[in-house]
Amino acid sequence: MELALSMWSLHRTVRAEGWTVLNFLDYCRREGIRRVELLDVFWRDVESELPQVVEFAGTHRIRVASYAVANDLVKADPAERYAALRQITDAIPIALALDTRTIRVFSGNLNEGFAFDSALGFIVEGLREAAATAASEGVTLCLENHGKLAGTGSQVLDILERVGSPALKSTFDTGNFLLVDEEPLQALDVLISRVGHVHIKDFAKDPAGRYVSLGGSKFEGTAAGQGQVQLGAIVRRLRESGYSGEYVLEYEGTGNEAEGIRASYQYFQSLIPG
């Protein structure tokens, strides 16, 4: 049970310092981090960068645990929906080149002008087609609980059941449930048999927090173990259920990102049975 680091955990540093994916991997090498999650949003030129990233990861024994795609399937224009679908299916050969068979995906946003049912229909249609392609390549797509359409455990489960493919599972983001006013442990009751990938994330209540739940509660990102999420209980229940997939840190605090990551890793070590 080893914690991987999502490149998103350093997104402020990446943007401020102009880091490439190789810069991120070099940071991980220096910090002794040997498992990572890469995201499609950080490529500058995937065609030229990918071979370099594969070589660097292999040389320094850094394993790509998962690859994340920032797709949005809720689009009125069929051409835009097709582009979102292609964003997922085009990620499959990239993930395979990175030697991972786990791809995090999104549903899409409930944008103005969309009814819930029609938006849900677009998501199910797109993910069903994407999952069919993934299944043919031996890849698993994992839908993150994120936003108003796939925010709660029951919403995620409904989409998984409508798609009806073993190639679509849940990315269980431990923090995001708080933003739809759901206790993460209660969401785990709903999704525990469908979890294929886990984001370790923690939020603390903060009257000045940047993240506002649907019910108006304000949260701020924090190092793992320092917020509201009962991470110890979640990890214990996942282990007891037989979950053997990846745990990926997604730090979203406002402080020094490197310090928040180190504190999160130290806390996660305390959750690993001796």
What pLDDT is recorded for position 118? 81
User: Across the strands, what pairs with 63?
Assistant: 35
Q: What is the mean pLDDT of the chain?
A: 95
pLDDT in tens, 196-209: 999 999 999 999 99
DSSP state, residue 148 = T
Residue 165 CB-density burial (10 A; 0-12 exposed, 13-18 middle, 19+ buried): middle
What pLDDT is recorded for position 111? 73
What pLDDT is recorded for position 274? 61
Q: Which among 43, 47, 51, 2 is positioned nearest to 21, based on CA atoms? A: 43
132's CB contacts (< 8 A; 6+ apart) are: 165, 167
What pLDDT is recorded for position 114? 74
Can you tell me the mean pLDDT for 219-236?
97
pLDDT in tens, 168-179: 999 999 999 999
How many C-beta atoms surround the C-beta of residue 177 within 10 A? 26
Asked whether residue 119 carries a pLDDT value surpassing 90, the answer given is no
Can you tell me the mean pLDDT for 176-205?
97
261's CB contacts (< 8 A; 6+ apart) are: 5, 9, 10, 31, 223, 249, 251
Asked whether residue 90 carries a pLDDT value surpassing 90, the answer given is yes
What pLDDT is recorded for position 273? 75
How many C-beta atoms surround the C-beta of residue 171 within 10 A? 30
Asked whether residue 116 carries a pLDDT value surpassing 80, the answer given is no
Asked whether residue 19 carries a pLDDT value surpassing 70, the answer given is yes
Asked whether residue 3 carries a pLDDT value surpassing 80, the answer given is yes
Can you tell me the mean pLDDT for 242-246?
95
Specify the residue for token string 């991470």.
Answer: 231
Beta carbons of 10 and 41 less than 8 angstroms apart:
no
Alpha helices in 68-183 (DSSP H): 78-89, 91-97, 116-136, 153-163
Q: With pLDDT > 70 as the criterion, what percentage of the chain qualifies? A: 99
Residue 50 CB-density burial (10 A; 0-12 exposed, 13-18 middle, 19+ buried): middle
